[in-house]
């Protein structure tokens, strides 16, 4: 537990940048107003009016733009090793930087599964050569994600595992879940849980409801998620362990977590932009870019997620960015794999869908999008002097169509493809280095 979590990325020069005249918004630092922001040698150096750029600094005109602490995504599939045709560390972290993220955590359901220290070490080594932004790697809870035998969690934690998850699959057995929570006392690190009861999900391809009845698709009922969440909250409480529920999709899950938390259970959770913005109505078209697990649910579920995000029952936004090859998604709905990409659209989608219509305060969205590392023990990015520079610069009024200029990701299976968005990331500074600059966004330099 005392070991600090280290993320990996390729070596980059520390940035010295002066952003002039942007609205600086960091609710946690009590910051909201127009000012100049000076980043010197990779750290926030000064916030003030009419700051002078140091020699060699890059000068950014922030007129009309917002600067937030950059976002943290605790749930990304980088498909490496094994499916580098769908995503690799370079493309995945480029997509993350383009979405305004300064840190991400990758899931271990790769081929091979990240269930041993050698696999984890080689992945971290690759990240130190290829990753554009700091990247952490979760390891599996059970060997091969088969749900039977615990991985060598203590060694994996020593080798730098950011946490443990069998994401993509649930830990079916309550007994194995209990052992993992007991073992957490030794290994430390959070257990992040994909909650699903396979006997309730069956062959389900979408949410069980009116739309699945109409389409003749087998449905995944919301109890398939909420029932095992209740089980694992009970086990976590009994063992005094800590769990993080991934991609919460259903109203009853939000209520279950809220009750458990009120009773003192150490449980955190996340929700995705697609579950916060879309419902099973979208599946009527049988567009496979609306197929993911857990599935898009009903409007009452979606409203419960929004309420949870507002109240804090839902701690953070996670994209569950899940790239798939085009030919795999160009199949009938029941056959196509589950998962959608989301790194590049997360902020724009939530800004357009919740902030612009007045459903959610911008500051609250920034808080939830920056909180993804907290359950795992990562620091929250902040805009305050002395802090490492993790800054995203956003044009809140820029309109664009998702996919119009392609994607940084190697895959295009985005749930928001073709939608008009309002709000665009112009620049991302991740842990002191410029990780992304939008193509049309020119920078001036001070000679």
Which residues are at the interface with another protein (CB under 8 A)?
Answer: 208-219, 221, 286, 327, 330-335
Q: Nearest approach, Cβ of 286 to another protein (angstroms)? A: 4
Nearest 10 degrees: CA dihedral of 391, 397, 400, 405?
-40
The pair phi, psi for residue 371, each rounded to 5°, is -95, 0
Q: Which residues contact 223 (CB under 8 A, 6 or more apart)?
A: 197, 200, 252
How near is the Cβ of 199 to another protein at its closest, in Å?
10
Tell me the closest approach of the beta carbon of residue 420 to another protein, in angstroms. 23
3-state secondary structure 82-118: CCCCCCCHHHHHHHHHHCCEEEEEECCCCCCCCCCHH
Q: How far is CA 360 from CA 246, 247, 341, in A?
A: 22, 19, 23
Nearest approach, Cβ of residue 329 and another protein (Å): 11
CB of 317: closest distance to another protein in angstroms?
A: 29
Nearer to another protein, 29 or 215 (CB): 215
| 391-401 and 66-69 beta bridge pairing | antiparallel
Q: Is 121 exposed, middle or buried (0-12, 13-18, 19+ CB in 10 A)?
A: middle
Phi, psi of 136 (to 5 degrees): -110, 160
Q: If you search the block for the tokens 């940084």, which residue do you land on?
A: 408
The least CB distance from residue 333 to another protein, in Å, is: 5
* Minimum CB–partner distance for residue 211 and another protein (Å): 8
DSSP letters along 235-292, please? HHHHHT-EEEE-S---HHHHHHHHHHHHTT-EEEEEE-HHHHH--GGGGGG--GGG--
Is 320 in the active site? yes
- Sequence-distant (≥ 6) Cβ neighbours of residue 397 within 8 angstroms: 64, 422, 423
Segment holding 158, helix H or strand E? helix 153-158
> With DSSP H G I counted as helix, E B as strand and the rest as coil, what are the percentages for the chain, rounded to 5?
30, 25, 45
Of the candidates 8, 73, 320, 431, the residue annotated as catalytic is 320
| Cα–Cα nearest to 217, from 227, 225, 209 | 209
Rounded-to-integer distance, Cα 88 and Cα 82, Å? 9
> Which is closer to another protein, CB of 43 or CB of 223?
223
For another protein, give the closer residue by CB, 218 or 356.
Answer: 218
User: Between 286 and 374, whose beta carbon lies closer to another protein?
Assistant: 286
- With CA atoms as reference, report the closest residue to 346 among 415, 269, 249, 418: 415
Q: What is the spatial distance between Cα 18 and Cα 135, in angstroms, rounded to a whole number?
A: 26
> Smallest gap, in angstroms, from Cβ of residue 228 to another protein?
20
Using CA atoms in the order 52, 54, 56, 59, what is the torsion angle rounded to 10 degrees? Answer: -30
What residues are annotated to the active site? Answer: 320
């Amino acid at each position: 537990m005392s070991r600090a979590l280290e993320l990996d990325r390729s070596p980059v020069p520390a940035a010295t940048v002066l952003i002039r005249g942007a609205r600086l918004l960091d609710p946690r630092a009590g910051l909201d107003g127009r000012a100049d922001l000076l980043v010197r040698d990779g750290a926030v150096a000064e916030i003030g009016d009419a700051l002078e750029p140091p020699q060699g600094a890059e000068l950014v005109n922030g007129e009309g733009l917002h600067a937030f602490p950059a976002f943290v995504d605790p749930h990304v599939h980088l498909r490496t090793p094994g499916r580098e045709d769908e995503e690799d560390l370079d493309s995945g972290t480029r997509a993350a930087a383009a979405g305004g993220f300064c840190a991400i955590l990758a899931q271990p359901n790769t081929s091979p599964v990240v269930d041993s220290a050698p696999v984890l070490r080689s992945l971290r080594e690759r990240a130190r050569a290829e990753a554009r932004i700091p990247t952490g790697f979760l390891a599996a809870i059970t060997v091969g994600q088969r749900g039977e035998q615990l991985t060598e969690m203590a060694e994996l934690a020593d080798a730098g595992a950011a946490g443990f998850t069998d994401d993509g699959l649930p830990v079916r057995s309550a007994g194995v879940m209990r052992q993992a929570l007991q073992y957490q006392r030794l290994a430390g690190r959070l257990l992040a849980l994909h909650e699903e009861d396979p006997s309730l999900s069956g062959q389900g391809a979408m949410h069980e409801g009116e739309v699945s009845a109409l389409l003749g698709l087998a449905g995944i009922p919301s109890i398939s998620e909420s029932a095992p969440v209740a089980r694992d909250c009970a086990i976590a409480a009994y063992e005094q362990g800590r769990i993080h529920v991934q991609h919460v999709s259903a109203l009853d899950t939000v209520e279950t977590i809220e009750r458990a938390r009120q009773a003192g259970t150490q449980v955190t959770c996340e929700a995705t932009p697609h579950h916060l913005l879309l419902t099973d109505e979208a599946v009527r078209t049988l567009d496979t870019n609306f197929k993911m697990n857990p599935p898009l649910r009903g409007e009452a579920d979606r409203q419960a997620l929004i309420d949870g995000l507002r109240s804090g029952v839902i701690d953070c936004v996670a994209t569950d960015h899940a790239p798939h090859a085009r030919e795999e998604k160009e199949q009938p709905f029941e056959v196509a794999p589950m998962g959608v990409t989301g790194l590049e659209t997360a902020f724009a989608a939530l800004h357009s869908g919740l902030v612009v219509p007045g459903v959610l305060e911008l500051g609250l969205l920034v808080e939830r999008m920056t909180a993804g590392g907290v359950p795992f023990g990562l620091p929250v990015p902040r805009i305050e002097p002395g802090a490492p520079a993790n800054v995203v610069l956003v044009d809140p009024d820029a309109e664009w169509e998702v996919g119009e200029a392609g994607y940084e990701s190697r895959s295009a299976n985005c749930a928001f493809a073709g939608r008009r968005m309002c709000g665009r990331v112009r620049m991302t500074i991740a842990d002191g280095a410029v990780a992304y600059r939008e193509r049309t966004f020119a920078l001036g330099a001070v000679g």
